[in-house]
Chains A and B, each alone.
Chain A
Amino acid sequence: MTCSRRDFLKDAVGGTLATVMPLSAFTFLSTAEARTAVEESKVRWAFLVDTNKCVGCGLCVKACKNENEIPYDAEVTRTWVERYVITKDGKTHIDSPMGGRDGFTSMEVDGEEIDPDNIEKAFFVPKLCNQCDNPACVQVCPVGATYQTNDGVVLVDRDWCIGCGYCIMACPYGVRFFHPVHKVADKCNFCYHRISKGMEPACVECCSFGARRIANLKDPDDPVTKIITTERVAVLKDEYGTKPHVFYLGLDANVR
């Protein structure tokens, strides 16, 4: 086998380029960056809703809208309360006028008068973002505007969101909406600005009945974490595999 000097140099340069070029696709982390990437956060936020305690006053919805600057009279909200009235004929009547913002003050459900003697059971179910472990909304974002922080909360980058609405369609729980003022996708973030300062979310603070509570799942001494880990709790739409982190006590099979 013969090899001219020219061919040898050509192959050497080509070979070096072929090895080095793909390497440039890797990012080299600084020591600090590598450490944060490997180290796990000491916080995993979760939520506990006790549907037995909810009376449907809607003060949580009011507080949420005020705290998070969601236009008060727009038909969008980060959290809402649903009323379920199950009648003896097996029908389920559901309503949530303005997300329950003004509470439930009449027996009428969605414009329909229901005979009290015909009611089998009736209850209220507060809903909010589930801060899933496998958030479908994050997977579909084409620009990286929505993401999961390392304490489990899913946030939306308002400067980066292009308002395409994929995430709104992807969320199986319907918690996302288009913010009418900022023109971007918006959702509940457990009041991230409050929980990161050691405060409770606005809806939790304003709930007079203890129906809403926030928990840090990684703190075994957290009283709410103890309830979630030791009592019989349920999540919404478990079959979607999103691993939701809003846990419900007393969840009825009729709740969708």
Chain B
Amino acid sequence: MKWHVLRPLWVAIGLVGALLVARVFLVPDDFGVHGRNFTYGFYRLSNVQEWKDFPVKYQGREGCVECHDANVETLNASSHAPVECENCHGPGAHHPDDIESLPLDTTRQLCLRCHAYLEYPNSARGSLLSIEDKRHRRRSECIKCHNPHDPKEDMR
């Protein structure tokens, strides 16, 4: 019998062997079944920590009050109290180190997110104080007349 017919078999076995060797070097040590079973928990364990280390950008009002206590106090006493500082001022986690980094949004478009009148009688939107964008001083920014930290105050 001619043994050369077996040569492709040796090649195939060699390739499988090479793959198994390569796998030892390429697959991280912590890759395996860590969760409840193979279907849902087959992963690289250190990736969980990598996601936990993802940088935080929104610090919340607790961070703002450390320096801007007067503004936070005014805001807390106003009807805008539920609105987070960072909704208008932008994410502030890097702000203490880099004062310039806050992109304050003073556009009319920002206020219209809540205060553009939509005639939806059974929606919470209908109960918010709102304007008709096309009729109410179209060309001016809202903050020229309204103080966002204390909306009741008349600035005119």
| Option from A103, A193, A206 in Cβ contact (under 8 Å) with B51 | A193
Fill in one digit per residue for A105-121: 1 if any B CB lies within 8 Å of its CB, else 0.
11100000000100101
* SS of B interface (majority): loop
A122 at the interface (CB under 8 A from B): yes
* Bound Cα distance from A189 to B50, whole angstroms: 13
- Evaluate contact between B56 and A157: CB separation under 8 angstroms: no
* SS of A interface (majority): loop
Count how many chain B residues have C-beta atoms less than 8 Å from C-beta atoms of the other chain.
45
**How far is the CB of B27 from the nearest CB of chain A, in Å?**
10
Q: Scan residues 32-89 of chain B and give those whose CB is less than 8 A from a CB of chain A.
A: 32-36, 39-44, 47-48, 51-58, 60, 82-84, 86-87
Q: Which of A16-24, A145-153, A218-226, A228-236 contacts B (4 or more CB under 8 A)?
A: A145-153
12 new A-B contacts at CB < 8 Å, known A55-B128, A66-B57, A196-B52: A27-B33, A59-B87, A67-B56, A116-B119, A123-B120, A146-B43, A147-B34, A148-B35, A157-B47, A193-B53, A199-B56, A208-B83
Residues of A within 8 A of B (CB): 27, 36-37, 52-59, 62-63, 66-68, 85, 102-107, 116, 119, 121-124, 134-135, 138-139, 144-150, 155, 157, 159-160, 189, 192-194, 196-197, 199-200, 202, 205-206, 208-210
Residues of B within 8 A of A (CB): 31-36, 39-44, 47-48, 51-58, 60, 82-84, 86-87, 90-91, 109, 112-114, 116, 118-125, 128, 133
